[in-house]
């Protein structure tokens, strides 16, 4: 089978927003269930690894293409459940089995948890044998450009900025199996019909992104050792008859979780963290942890950028929901770092080699988005999904009670006679976070407010936009005619950033459309 898939995460930044929205539980309830419903199944447990905090220019170099793994004649099991992926023995319906790597020591190979001191032995792909113990071939390694429609919405405090994305992405896919995949730890890692995906860090090739008037953004894939050597992303496409479950998510972060007033509006904040040591799982083996500004953690130690000395930034907290995820759903965990170069949003390649360089952040070669840039950003592991992605920042820019997030439905606002939900005509006295929900006027083509509007949390003159909606892949097309199998599919990602270079707290939502 042939397969192409493009996955990256883009992060650019925006200014903070006044107002406060519903908490993460209420937000996830607002996420729409995909319309192409199927009977729900239990989602398989993904075995993922911890993100590295050491960015490099291009990530750890992986093989340019996997080598077909020589396979012995599989041992035929009387019961398919006896095929254990990762034990080093090829047992039908497996077509390869390279063992795994230790979750607590990814450089150590293993064939059972006992090899890892009792910790999990994780099966990975990208080495010729996929994470579901199927052979990865050259036909499964496919590169393609982004299609028109790929882009990001950067939500600033007063207006959104639309950004077009260009570049290519090369992925490695395994083959489909008709049976659930059980690993050596006894976990189901893939459901029947799932297709495993990996991406090499050096195969993330996004062109420099102009954020007009602000910065040049440089996106790099960063290796996660427990994803496999050189891999920056891993995930699956659900192509079984029953689809999957809960591929929608909300990703939240709180700028201030210290006891001194941080939870002035507890319904608009994550839990207090006096020791600033909370961690939250993004996926199995990948945690996001709290960080004290100007403390010992390099991720938020720079006083020029993280100006709120001693303030505890929360981990990113993810909550999945949405119910049944139809056949063709996909979720890919990507580890990327985003460098923001201070050049007024030029991404200027005409000054290459100039000495002195007019843009210090370009480094000695005076070229943006190369190995000698002065800012590589911090690597973050973020899921992309064919479902709905949402993000929120609480206590944005360390201003208590302020959020950057979308509001609820129009039902909380005063609406015209007749019961219409949208448009609204006035604020509601009861709304989000104990305060009124705003009826934000629509604007005409000249930017003038109209008599009616829409309910939500304001970002300037318009409601905040902090979500993205993906689109399902056509599994039948993907399996029968893989060269056209991804057409019409799209992956969405939304995420918060705190104290980004020049542009402070922000939420960015991105959509990747596939050719």
DSSP state letter for 33? P
Q: Please tell me whether residue 225 adopts helix, strand or coil conformation.
A: helix
The first and second tokens of residue 1, run together, are: 């089978």
Q: Please tell me whether residue 139 adopts helix, strand or coil conformation.
A: helix
The first and second tokens of residue 161, run together, are: 């900025």
pLDDT score at 408: 54
475, containing H or E segment: helix 475-480
pLDDT in tens, the chain (515 residues): 433 333 333 333 333 333 344 444 444 344 333 333 333 333 333 333 333 333 433 333 333 444 444 445 556 555 555 789 999 999 999 999 999 999 999 999 999 999 999 999 999 999 999 999 999 988 777 776 788 999 998 777 677 788 889 988 888 888 899 999 999 999 999 999 999 999 999 999 999 999 888 889 999 999 999 899 999 999 999 999 877 889 999 999 999 999 886 566 777 889 999 999 999 999 877 899 999 999 998 889 989 889 999 999 999 999 999 998 999 999 999 999 888 899 999 999 999 999 999 999 999 999 999 999 998 888 888 999 999 999 998 888 888 877 888 865 445 576 666 554 457 777 765 555 545 567 777 777 777 777 777 777 777 777 788 899 999 988 887 777 666 667 788 999 999 988 877 778 888 899 998 87
> What is the C-alpha separation between 84 and 77, in angstroms, rounded?
10
pLDDT score at 157: 66
Short-list 506, 407, 434, CA closest to 21: 407
Are the beta carbons of 297 and 262 closer than 8 angstroms? no
Q: 82 φ, ψ to 5°?
A: -80, -10
Q: Which residue has the tokens 């999904």?
A: 385
Are the beta carbons of 309 and 258 closer than 8 angstroms? no
The first and second tokens of residue 179, run together, are: 């049976």
pLDDT score at 11: 35
pLDDT score at 432: 57
Looking only at the bridges linking them, the beta strands covering 244-245 and 248-254 are unpaired
User: From the centroid of its chain, how far is CA 188?
Assistant: 23
pLDDT score at 448: 78
Are the beta carbons of 385 and 233 closer than 8 angstroms? no
> What is the C-alpha separation between 287 and 316, in angstroms, rounded?
9
Short-list 380, 400, 377, CA closest to 391: 380
> What is the C-alpha separation between 186 and 120, in angstroms, rounded?
10
The first and second tokens of residue 280, run together, are: 């939250």
Are the beta carbons of 152 and 10 closer than 8 angstroms? yes
User: From the centroid of its chain, how far is CA 499?
Assistant: 19
pLDDT score at 74: 58
Q: Please tell me whether residue 254 adopts helix, strand or coil conformation.
A: strand
User: From the centroid of its chain, how far is CA 116?
Assistant: 29
CA torsion sign, 295 to 297 to 299 to 301? positive
> What is the C-alpha separation between 2 and 392, in angstroms, rounded?
37
> What is the C-alpha separation between 464 and 455, in angstroms, rounded?
10
The pTM of this model reads: 0.78
Q: Which residue has the tokens 């909380």?
A: 412
CA-only gyration radius of the chain, Å: 23
Neighbouring C-beta atoms of residue 446, cutoff 10 Å? 5
Q: Please tell me whether residue 82 adopts helix, strand or coil conformation.
A: helix
Q: Please tell me whether residue 28 adopts helix, strand or coil conformation.
A: helix
């Amino acid at each position: 089978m042939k397969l192409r898939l493009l996955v990256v995460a883009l992060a650019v930044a925006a200014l903070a927003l006044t107002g406060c929205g519903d908490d993460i539980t209420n937000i996830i309830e607002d996420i729409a269930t995909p319309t192409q419903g199927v009977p729900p199944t239990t989602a398989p447990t993904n075995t993922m690894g911890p993100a590295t905090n050491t960015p490099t220019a291009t990530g750890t170099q992986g093989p340019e293409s996997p080598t077909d793994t020589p396979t012995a004649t599989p041992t035929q099991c009387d019961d398919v459940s006896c095929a254990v992926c990762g034990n080093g023995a090829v047992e039908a319906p497996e077509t390869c089995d390279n063992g795994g790597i230790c979750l607590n020591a990814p450089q150590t190979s293993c064939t059972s948890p006992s090899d890892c001191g009792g910790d999990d032995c994780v099966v990975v792909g990208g080495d010729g044998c996929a994470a579901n113990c199927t052979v990865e071939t050259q036909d499964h390694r496919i590169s393609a450009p982004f299609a028109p429609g790929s882009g990001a919405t950067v939500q600033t405090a007063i207006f959104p900025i639309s950004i077009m994305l260009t570049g290519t992405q090369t992925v490695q896919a395994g083959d489909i199996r008709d049976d659930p995949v059980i690993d050596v730890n006894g976990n189901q890692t893939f459901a029947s019909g799932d297709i495993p995906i990996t991406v090499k860090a050096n195969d993330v090739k996004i062109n420099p992104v102009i954020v007009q008037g602000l910065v040049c953004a440089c996106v790099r894939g960063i290796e996660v050792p427990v994803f496999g050597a050189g891999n920056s992303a891993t995930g699956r496409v659900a192509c079984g008859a029953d689809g999957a479950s809960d591929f929608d998510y909300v990703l939240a972060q709180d700028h201030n979780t210290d006891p001194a007033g941080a939870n002035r509006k507890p319904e608009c904040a994550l839990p207090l963290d006096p020791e600033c040591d909370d961690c939250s799982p993004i996926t199995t083996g990948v945690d996001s942890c709290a960080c004290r500004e100007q403390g010992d953690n390099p991720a938020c130690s720079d006083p020029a950028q993280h100006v709120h000395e001693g303030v505890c930034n929360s981990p990113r907290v993810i909550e999945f929901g949405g119910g049944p995820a139809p056949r063709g759903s996909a979720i890919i965990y990507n580890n990327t770092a985003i460098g923001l170069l201070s050049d007024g949003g030029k991404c200027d390649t005409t000054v290459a080699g100039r000495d002195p360089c007019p843009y210090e952040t370009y480094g000695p070669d005076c070229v943006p988005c190369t190995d000698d840039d002065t800012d590589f950003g911090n690597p973050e592991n973020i899921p992309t999904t064919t479902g709905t992605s949402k993000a929120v920042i609480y206590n944005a820019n360390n201003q208590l009670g302020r959020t950057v997030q979308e509001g609820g439905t129009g039902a909380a606002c005063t609406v015209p006679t007749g019961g219409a939900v949208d448009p609204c005509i006035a604020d509601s006295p009861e709304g989000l976070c104990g305060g009124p929900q705003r009826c934000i006027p629509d604007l005409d083509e000249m930017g003038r407010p109209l008599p009616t509007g829409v309910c939500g949390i304001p970002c300037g003159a318009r409601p905040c936009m902090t979500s993205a909606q993906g689109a399902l892949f056509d599994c039948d097309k993907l399996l029968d005619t893989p060269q056209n199998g991804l057409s019409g599919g799209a992956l969405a990602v939304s995420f918060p950033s705190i104290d980004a270079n020049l542009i402070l707290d922000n939420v960015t939502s991105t959509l990747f459309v596939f050719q």
